[in-house]
Amino acid sequence: MIHIVFNQVEVELMKRVIDLDNDLQGSVVQIKDDFAVGPLSELDTEEGWNARVDWWKQISAGSPYSMDTADGFDDRKMVAALVEQLKNDPEESIWIWMGQNQHDVCGYYWLIPQLKAFQGRIMVLYLNNLPFINEKGQIFYPSWLWEIQPKEFLKAKKLARPVTLSEFEIDPDEWNKLVQENSLVRMLEGGKKLAGKDETFYDAELLKNITGEWQKASRVLSNTLNRMKIKTGDVFIMWRLKELIRAGKVSAEGTIDRDWKSFDVKNNSAKEAVPAEADEITE
């Protein structure tokens, strides 16, 4: 049994779940790329894939993550290894775990066409609109797997079902629609339905957390990630912050293309007076 998750924190979470239930024994692998953001055009070609890699490298400037090589998040190689495992072992199966969020669902849509040859051996657990018990004993509806206690997964495993032949036929159509649309942001609208959004989709969330007084950009990033209801990754949010600076909507003090702690920001539209010299961006 091979368990697939879509977030790094869920790799360790799933290992803890496996420790609680011998029936779930198996390996855990992660789809690392975040297909809910960025270009999707022609990812089945080297040119298209490299264009996506280049985009990630561009927006990751100054981040704590290494983007020196494409291998660091080239999920194609991991999927190729999974396919080889399934070919070599007819008893092997894959369990895809998904939370109710655009990140997991986009990853699922990218993955599923590549596993069509193994219909009947690919299981899916989509934990959408399902109640769980949190650490305080309260009922809640999680959007992400990492919000769920390990012991709660023992009940959730009963929901595992094979991806149907119909889904293998229809789900790629949803992915192809997103590819043709090629918006930079994708949002979950309910069930497994996704819609493209403009790259500025999260800007309002950022601006809510930038005051008229100087703050560390890293603090603004942390506050935004913690407070926003619809989550996305830190690299994308920091890129949007830099774009707001370049557009003159936010002032910066320091060097914005070094590390994330190297500059401060403040909101130009806030009530506090903004000195003229504060509008200059130091690159």
Q: Quote the distance between the C-alpha of residue 181 and its chain's center.
A: 19
pLDDT, position 283: 36
8 plus 112 within the same structural domain:
yes
DSSP 121-189: SEEEEEE-S--EE-TTS-EE--SSGGGS-GGGHHHHGGG-EEPPHHHHHHHHHHHHHHHHH--SEEEEE
Separation in Å, CA 45 to CA 42, 50, 126, 130, 223: 6, 8, 29, 38, 38
Say whether both 46 and 161 belong to one domain: yes
Do strands 2-5 and 27-30 pair parallel, antiparallel, or not at all (unpaired)? parallel
Dist. CA 225–CA 235, nearest whole Å: 11
User: Are residues 133 and 31 part of one domain?
Assistant: yes
> Would you call 270 exposed, middle or buried from its count of C-beta atoms within 10 A (0-12, 13-18, 19+)?
middle
- Is 21 found in the same domain as 61? yes
* Separation between Cα atoms, residue 100 and residue 283, nearest integer Å: 39
Same domain? 139 vs 18: yes
pLDDT (0 to 100) of residue 235: 95
Q: Is 168 exposed, middle or buried (0-12, 13-18, 19+ CB in 10 A)?
A: middle
pLDDT of 166: 93
Low-confidence spans in the chain with pLDDT less than 70: 67-72, 270-283
Q: Is residue 41 part of a domain?
A: yes
pLDDT given for residue 190 in this prediction: 86
Answer yes or no: do 137 and 7 share one domain. Answer: yes
Do 226 and 134 belong to one domain?
no
Q: Domains in the chain: how many in total? A: 2
Say how far apart CA 203 and CA 247 lie, in whole Å: 12
**Domain check: are 8 and 42 in the same one?**
yes
Q: Are residues 122 and 172 in the same domain?
A: yes
Q: Is residue 185 part of a domain?
A: no
pLDDT of residue 273: 41
The answer as to whether 189 is a domain residue is no
The reported pLDDT for the residue numbered 61 is 87
CATH of the domain at 261: 1.10.10
Amino acid 271: pLDDT: 55
Domain assignment of residue 224, yes or no = yes
What is the model's pLDDT at position 231? 92
- Helices 217-227, 234-246: axis angle to 10 degrees equals 120
Do 129 and 25 share a structural domain?
Answer: yes
Closest Cα partner for 75 from 98, 101, 47, 108? 108
Q: CA-to-CA distance for 242 and 214, rounded, in angstroms? A: 15
Q: Are residues 81 and 148 in the same domain?
A: yes
Q: What CATH number has the domain bearing residue 98? A: 3.40.1360.10
C-alpha count within 13 angstroms, C-beta hemisphere, residue 189: 8
167 belongs to a structural domain:
yes
End position of a domain, from candidates 120, 145, 178: 178
pLDDT at position 280 is: 42
Q: Which of 144, 178, 212 represents a domain boundary (last residue)?
A: 178
- The answer as to whether 184 is a domain residue is no
Give the per-residue pLDDT at 65.
Answer: 84
Residue 134 lies in a domain: yes
Domain of residue 152 covers 2-178
Same domain membership, residue 83 and residue 43: yes
Closest CA to 79 of 46, 112, 41, 57: 112
